[in-house]
Structure 1
């Protein structure tokens, strides 16, 4: 007869070995993982900025500079205004009986050209009357001179001694002076009448362009009334404003006939093909501009309408704004470079022995295109002209064609 097996007697021994084996396996896995991680970090290659700079030099463009004498340019904006402008007025009154075709806004007139004519009938009659009065005064003078001659003859016949006071009366000297005075007054009246008659013809006082006309044929005008505006065509001004800090770089005319600094004028939106005009810096106006609080200067342009020029220079338009490049005073012993090559904090990048050097510079003047370096650059220095992604003093550089070093 067989006996049943007691399973509960065996299970306790298997339960004691299982957890121990699991712990050992887990511990081994952890140790192996730690060893692998340590090995990976220990054998990983490292990359440093220093190694990269040593292996690959940056490609740059350079330009050699030299010290010398350079002339800076001060660029300003200005408005074109006439140097001679008048409001035409009448010195006599009457009706306009003639108007010249040239007396039209925009047309040009020559000096002395008749623009308007006022009805001269009244002035001609007045002149005739004044001339008649002059003839009468001259006749009275001749009669008085004859009477004085008779009085002198009578006095000589008497042969008597007469006091000096009575002598002048007997010889009719006061009457003679009165007659002469009446002649002089009549002559002055004739001259005034002639002037009034001449003033019925309104003429251009100088070569000019008609800007406006305020009367026409048949208008009744009075003395002093405005008839129109004229602007001289011989010369225009450019009224420009200049920062006060740049005034000492400009050379003005020291005398009316002495030329000032040359100026190049641009009107980019109007003049085709990059055409320019030339002018001269004439005068510093002793007053600041009300809006910008900058100094006002005058630039003179001769023949602004290009009437006497065969080169086809563009005509200037009154009231327009133009760009003026004023030649400044020369700078001696400086280096001139494009102003964009001056980097932050007034530094310049230099290539020295194939390495990058950051040079501090002292700037004497800056215009719209260039910077003029007084100190910090010398003859033969090679200035880097392109932008760099990384700027580190001492970084290795190379030029086109050198290849990788």
Structure 2
């Protein structure tokens, strides 16, 4: 009993001592220092946004076709008598070369016959004209005789009335007047017929001349002469073969120029169209209205670079935009831009620079004239947003509106201003407001400027 009581007395003392020890230890321990934790400063590459000269570009594709194609057909019936030795597929012949002849015997006979008919008609006309002159002279003589006889008749009448001349003499004079009157009328009638006879002969002469001209024309058409320097396509006839009028002879392809009907998607045409009428700030033509486009193409100063698809990219021909197709292809949603290239055989280097041949598949790069635009690299764009350096070099995320994209560049419509600094390098993590350390590269700025002008 005494032992239990003794333990009960010392237990509170022990607990109090333990609490005192803990209190002293807590009070004597130094306070924990708190430190503010921040994200480390991120080093980023930046680009200063500014308007730079920018050339809008678009690429279209099409097949090369000669600007001039002659599909020679026979204009007369006949047998082939001559073919030039170089009139073969792939051959080259200069302008003015006689390449093919058709047998001329039939046409020469026809020409001689026509000329003979013409000569006969002309001779008949001369004979009639001579007869007319003679008849008119006879008529003049008959009229004079008639007039004299009329005067004599009046004199005889006076004498008969004076009873100094017998009455039968009056009857004789009247008979002479009647005969001369009949002669005058006959000659006058004959002279009057010469006008219609000459008109008939002149009609015959005109017809004969037409026959001569037709025969001469047919004779000329038996000889085929190249109207331009050409390469020969297909040849459909051979010597000794009969060919009917309208029959195919050969195909000749002009070598002075080629054309490419380059098909450009409408969505790629629209950026180019923004350069239309830029000089006078007139409204753009409706892209579906070919008439308006055709008028605008004269002012649409596009540069065209032609390359062979699959060939050396450094092998380039300068083209000229001639016209725009009359309608949009509803299946491919493309519009044809017809480009001409002069002297496609000039500067040919075998194995290096080929000529532009019919059927080659070519690309045509259209470049508009340079205009100042707000341009940024595509890699600076992140799902419609751009990372901009804000106040005190902190990150600001800003949405932008894109006008259009072109290769590695993007043309900005709204959301950025000149002088803004945008981040062009990768940034992780992307937290608005984090501190940035900026690195600006003049070389990258020059590279963007070169890309904008299409130099690279």
Q: TM-score range by the shorter chain?
A: 0.7 to 0.9
Give the match for residue 430 of structure 2.
391
SS in structure 2 at match of 1:175? helix
**Aligned mates of 2:64, 2:359 — CA distance in 1:** 5
**Aligned mates of 2:142, 2:275 — CA distance in 1:** 87
Q: Does 1:67 align with 2:106?
A: no
Aligned residues: 344
Give the match for residue 137 of structure 1.
121
**Aligned mates of 2:294, 2:113 — CA distance in 1:** 55
Q: Which of 192, 196, 199 is 1:174 aligned to?
A: 196
Residues 233 and 282 of structure 1: CA distance in aligned 2, closer, same or farther (over 3 Å): same
SS in structure 1 at match of 2:39? helix
Q: Which of 351, 356, 380 is 2:389 aligned to?
A: 351
Residues 64 and 257 of structure 1: CA distance in aligned 2, closer, same or farther (over 3 Å): closer
Q: Report how far residue 253 of structure 1 moved.
A: 6.1
**Aligned mates of 1:242, 1:273 — CA distance in 2:** 19
**Aligned mates of 1:308, 1:400 — CA distance in 2:** 49
SS in structure 2 at match of 1:274? coil
Q: Which of 304, 308, 331 is 1:267 aligned to?
A: 308
Give the alignment's Cα RMSD to 1 decimal.
3.2
Q: Aligned runs of 1:192-203 on 2, under 5 Å?
A: 192-203=214-225
Q: Aligned runs of 1:369-388 on 2, under 5 Å?
A: 369-388=408-427
Give the match for residue 216 of structure 1.
238
Q: Which of 54, 64, 70 is 2:39 aligned to?
A: 54
**Aligned mates of 1:230, 1:297 — CA distance in 2:** 25
Q: Aligned runs of 1:9-48 on 2, under 5 Å?
A: none
Residues 339 and 121 of structure 1: CA distance in aligned 2, closer, same or farther (over 3 Å): farther
Give the match for residue 115 of structure 1.
99
Q: Report how far residue 305 of structure 1 moved.
A: 2.7
Q: Report how far residue 64 of structure 1 moved.
A: 2.2
Q: Report how far residue 399 of structure 1 moved.
A: 4.3
Q: Report how far residue 204 of structure 1 moved.
A: 2.1
Residues 255 and 145 of structure 1: CA distance in aligned 2, closer, same or farther (over 3 Å): farther
Q: Does 1:147 align with 2:101?
A: no
Q: Unaligned regions of 5+ residues in structure 2, if any?
A: 1-35, 147-180, 277-292, 441-456
Q: Report how far residue 232 of structure 1 moved.
A: 2.5
Give the match for residue 277 of structure 1.
317
**Aligned mates of 2:301, 2:137 — CA distance in 1:** 75
Residues 384 and 182 of structure 1: CA distance in aligned 2, closer, same or farther (over 3 Å): same
Q: Quick check: which one's helix share is greater?
A: 2
Give the match for residue 100 of structure 1.
84
SS in structure 2 at match of 1:54? coil
SS in structure 1 at match of 2:339? strand
Residues 360 and 273 of structure 1: CA distance in aligned 2, closer, same or farther (over 3 Å): closer
Residues 216 and 250 of structure 1: CA distance in aligned 2, closer, same or farther (over 3 Å): farther
SS in structure 2 at match of 1:61? strand
Q: Report how far residue 289 of structure 1 moved.
A: 2.2
Q: Which of 389, 405, 412 is 1:366 aligned to?
A: 405
**Aligned mates of 2:304, 2:397 — CA distance in 1:** 37
Q: Report how far residue 148 of structure 1 moved.
A: 1.4
- Tell me, yes or no, if the aligned pair for 1:75 and 1:367 is still in contact at 8 Å: no
**Deviations, residues 235-260 of structure 1 (Å, cap 9, x unaligned):** 32211222334343364664998785
Q: Does 1:316 align with 2:368?
A: no
Normalised by the size of structure 1, how large is the TM-score?
0.75
Q: Report how far residue 146 of structure 1 moved.
A: 0.9
SS in structure 2 at match of 1:197? helix
- Tell me, yes or no, if the aligned pair for 2:136 and 2:191 is still in contact at 8 Å: no
Residues 392 and 322 of structure 1: CA distance in aligned 2, closer, same or farther (over 3 Å): farther
Give the match for residue 24 of structure 1.
none
Q: Report how far residue 150 of structure 1 moved.
A: 1.1
